[in-house]
């Protein structure tokens, strides 16, 4: 161990600049040499017990020193990767917050400017001199390149530079009171952003944080400052009550440990009545899709009773369970173009297979989560009365476009608030009924209605489908909001990426390479989930945006066109 320490220390000292080398804080190499001489002297004097105890005292210290030099570049690499996340978020914000009146960015924007090239050359020489691994070039040079791109983007907007210069002049000329107000405003914004990130990150480690999150969401409509119309009061009460009821679920044990059949049956029994209650709100003739869904939900309740009372699952139950997948994705195509009817149809159609895959309280959670999502869509259009809202329609031809004036432009407070609520709901959908550890040790009993033979690929596919249903429901709700506002999904996805990448930067410093396999695996899973969540939600939003307005007639028309073209 001492030889390895000497080799690593000599290697680091030889490949580092004198003013950059930092020795181990516990002791110096000269002290270790004296310790070795003292141990050798004790050995020569046959005082082996004292020599052994002396070695046992110094082994942990030498081990810490060896680990220190093995991880010598960890601090600088961590700072470089953190800067990479920060500069990437700044670049995203700079590109999409540009004024729509400016000309589009040219290819020359991707080329680094002269100051960036000079700094990259200096850093490149330092890395080469220290003989660091090849990957370190990427970690150290990429943040510098991204900073250069940010300056290039800002250079294309003279108005932004004018605002920056003017703001400096304004700050120097303003009075002390105005300056304090200005600083308090921006410090408050930074504190809200940092506090939100802390809450989002804490939810990965402790599910009970979701209860606090839902409690805060319950009062969000009252904090918005919008005018409360008479028809909004009932929806605010519904939102408040649903949030409080959902806040109970994170306090329960994770799904899969204890089956709760009466909750599964009770939720399946209550779902058709909830659909019938929502159906009464429409001021037009209800489509056959909702009626068919009502019968399917009632029939699934009867089949689940048969499944729980019989020792072996009958073939009729298995057949209906497998048919619930195509039903869930085809029945909404037969609904009318009414927005409320299509949202409810999609929510309940996807709830049908989810209820058949449920084992405990997760079906009740998803049913209440669907009510929360529909209420959120209603509150986003609080300026409309109930009669006006229930008459809104969606058409494929009015789908949001991707023109430049809709992509670029400053982000307003409403967009940031919507992105924060989206992250909250994503975490509620994922951690509301379990966590990462519960997914790794799920109970295969919930698949008894589908398969009775061990099949790992089929079981994994059904588990992934079950996990993805709440996210698809969430995507449908936000797609409905953005669809009617004619705002494309890219802007919301950019804000979501900025938030999740900031969370990933925090999770990067929580990565562990020591401890139990469970702790190491959870730390890696948290980092990977935060990195992939923005991309997954982005795909689900686009899928929901495609599925929401489309009908069976549209599919038939498109199929005929494709057939005629092929002929």
pLDDT in tens, the chain (567 residues): 666 666 666 666 666 666 666 766 666 666 666 766 676 776 777 776 776 776 777 677 777 677 776 677 777 888 888 899 999 888 888 888 877 667 677 777 788 888 888 988 988 888 887 777 788 888 888 888 888 888 888 776 655 544 544 455 555 555 566 667 767 877 888 888 888 888 888 888 888 888 899 998 888 877 665 555 555 678 888 888 999 999 998 888 877 777 788 888 888 888 888 888 877 766 556 677 888 888 888 888 888 888 888 777 778 888 888 888 888 888 888 888 888 888 888 998 999 888 888 888 888 999 999 999 999 988 888 878 878 888 888 876 554 444 444 677 778 888 888 889 999 999 998 888 876 555 555 666 667 778 777 777 888 788 888 888 888 999 899 888 887 776 677 888 888 889 988 988 888 888 887 777 777 888 888 888 888 888 888 888 888 888 888 877 776 676 564 444 444
Smallest Cα–Cα separation from 357: which of 515, 466, 210? 466
Smallest Cα–Cα separation from 377: which of 496, 480, 292? 480
Q: Which residues of 13-41 are buried (b: 16+ CB within 10 A; e: fewer)?
A: eeebeeeeeeebeebeeeebeebeeebee
Residues recorded for the chain: 567
Tokens, residue 191:
């504190």
**Cα dist from 106 to 94, 122, 160, whole Å:** 15, 28, 18
Q: How far, in Å, CA of 436 to CA of 205, rounded?
A: 10
Is position 222 within any domain? yes
Residues 141 and 208 in one domain: no
Helix (H, G, I), strand (E, B) or coil at 252: coil
Residue 208 per-residue DSSP state:
T
Q: How far, in Å, CA of 231 to CA of 379, rounded?
A: 10
Residues 447 and 349 in one domain: yes
Residue with tokens 């020489």: 125
Is position 83 within any domain? yes
Q: How far, in Å, CA of 157 to CA of 134, rounded?
A: 36
Residues 398 and 537 in one domain: yes
CB 242 within 8 Å of CB 375: yes
CB 211 within 8 Å of CB 251: yes
* Alpha-helical regions (H) of 310-407: 315-330, 339-356, 362-380, 386-389, 404-407
Is position 182 within any domain? no
Residues 65 and 94 in one domain: no
From 29, 48, 70, give the residue that closes a domain. 70
Q: How far, in Å, CA of 47 to CA of 39, rounded?
A: 9
Helix (H, G, I), strand (E, B) or coil at 338: strand
The radius of gyration of the chain from alpha carbons, rounded to an integer in Å, stands at: 30
Q: How far, in Å, CA of 226 to CA of 381, rounded?
A: 11
Residues 311 and 443 in one domain: yes
Tokens, residue 441:
């040790």
Helix (H, G, I), strand (E, B) or coil at 267: helix
Q: Which domain holds residue 132?
A: 75-171
CB-side neighbour CA atoms (13 Å) of 480: 28
CB 1 within 8 Å of CB 32: no
Residues 204 and 125 in one domain: no
Is position 397 within any domain? yes
Q: How far, in Å, CA of 303 to CA of 450, rounded?
A: 12
Is position 437 within any domain? yes
Residues 35 and 127 in one domain: no
Helix (H, G, I), strand (E, B) or coil at 141: helix
Tokens, residue 514:
């020591």
Residue 433 per-residue DSSP state:
S
Residues 61 and 155 in one domain: no
Residues 270 and 165 in one domain: no
Residues 118 and 224 in one domain: no
Q: How far, in Å, CA of 143 to CA of 148, rounded?
A: 9
Residues 501 and 440 in one domain: yes
Smallest Cα–Cα separation from 247: which of 416, 496, 424? 424
Q: Which backbone phi and psi does 393 adopt, to 5 degrees?
A: -130, 160
Residues near 416 by Cβ (< 8 Å), separated by ≥ 6?
A: 495
Residue 393 per-residue DSSP state:
B
Smallest Cα–Cα separation from 479: which of 342, 328, 290, 281? 342
From 127, 155, 171, give the residue that closes a domain. 171
From 39, 70, 101, give the residue that closes a domain. 70
How many domains are there within the chain?
Answer: 3
Residues 300 and 392 in one domain: yes
Q: How far, in Å, CA of 206 to CA of 196, rounded?
A: 15
Is position 302 within any domain? yes
């Amino acid at each position: 161990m001492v030889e390895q320490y000497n080799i690593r220390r000599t290697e680091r000292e030889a490949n580092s600049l004198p003013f950059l080398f930092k020795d181990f804080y516990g002791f110096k190499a000269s002290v270790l040499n004296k310790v070795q001489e003292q141990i050798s002297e004790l050995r020569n004097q046959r005082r082996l017990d004292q020599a052994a105890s002396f070695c046992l005292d110094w082994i942990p210290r030498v081990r810490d020193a060896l680990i220190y030099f093995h991880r010598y570049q960890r601090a600088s690499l961590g700072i470089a990767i953190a800067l990479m996340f920060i500069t990437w978020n700044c670049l995203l914000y700079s590109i999409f917050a540009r004024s729509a009146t400016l000309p589009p960015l040219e290819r020359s924007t991707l080329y680094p400017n002269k100051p960036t090239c000079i700094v990259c050359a200096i850093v490149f020489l330092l890395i080469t001199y220290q003989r660091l691994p090849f990957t370190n070039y990427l970690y150290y040079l990429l943040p510098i390149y991204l900073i250069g791109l940010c300056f290039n983007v800002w250079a294309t907007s003279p108005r932004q530079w004018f605002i920056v210069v003017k703001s400096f002049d304004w700050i120097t000329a303003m009075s002390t009171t105005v300056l304090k107000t200005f600083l308090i405003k921006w410090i408050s914004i930074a504190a809200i952003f940092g506090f939100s990130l802390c809450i989002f990150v804490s939810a990965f480690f402790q599910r009970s944080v979701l209860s606090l999150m839902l409690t805060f969401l319950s009062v969000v409509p009252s904090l918005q400052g919008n005018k409360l119309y008479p028809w909004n009061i009932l929806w605010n009460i519904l939102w408040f009550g649903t949030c409080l009821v959902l806040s109970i679920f994170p306090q329960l044990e994770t799904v899969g440990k204890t089956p709760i059949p009466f909750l599964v049956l009770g939720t399946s029994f209550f779902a058709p009545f909830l659909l019938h209650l929502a159906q009464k709100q429409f001021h037009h003739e209800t489509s056959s899709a909702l009626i068919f869904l009502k019968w399917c939900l009632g029939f699934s309740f009867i089949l689940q009773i048969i499944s729980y009372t019989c020792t072996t699952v009958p073939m009729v139950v298995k057949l209906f369970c497998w048919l619930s997948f195509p039903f869930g994705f085809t029945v909404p195509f037969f609904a009318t173009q009414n927005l409320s009817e299509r949202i409810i149809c999609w929510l309940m159609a996807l709830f049908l297979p989810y209820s058949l895959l449920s084992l405990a309280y997760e079906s009740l959670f998803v049913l209440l989560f669907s009510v929360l999502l529909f209420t959120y869509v209603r509150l986003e259009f609080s300026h409309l009365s109930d009669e006006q809202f229930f008459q809104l329609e969606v058409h494929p031809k009015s789908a949001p476009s991707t023109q430049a004036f809709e992509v670029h432009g400053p982000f307003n407070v409403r967009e940031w608030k919507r992105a924060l609520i989206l992250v909250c709901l994503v975490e509620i959908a994922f951690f509301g009924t379990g966590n990462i550890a519960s997914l790794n040790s799920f109970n295969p009993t919930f698949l008894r209605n589908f398969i009775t033979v061990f099949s790992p690929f089929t079981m994994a596919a059904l588990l992934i489908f079950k996990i993805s249903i709440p996210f698809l429901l969430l995507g449908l709700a936000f797609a409905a909001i953005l669809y009617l506002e004619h705002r494309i999904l890219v802007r919301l996805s950019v804000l979501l990426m900025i938030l999740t990448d900031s969370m990933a930067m925090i999770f990067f410093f929580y990565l562990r390479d020591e401890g139990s396999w469970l702790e190491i695996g959870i730390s890696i899973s948290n980092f990977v989930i935060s990195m992939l969540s923005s991309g997954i939600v982005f795909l689900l939003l686009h899928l929901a945006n495609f599925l929401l307005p489309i009908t069976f007639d549209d599919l038939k028309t498109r199929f005929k066109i494709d057939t005629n073209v092929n002929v």
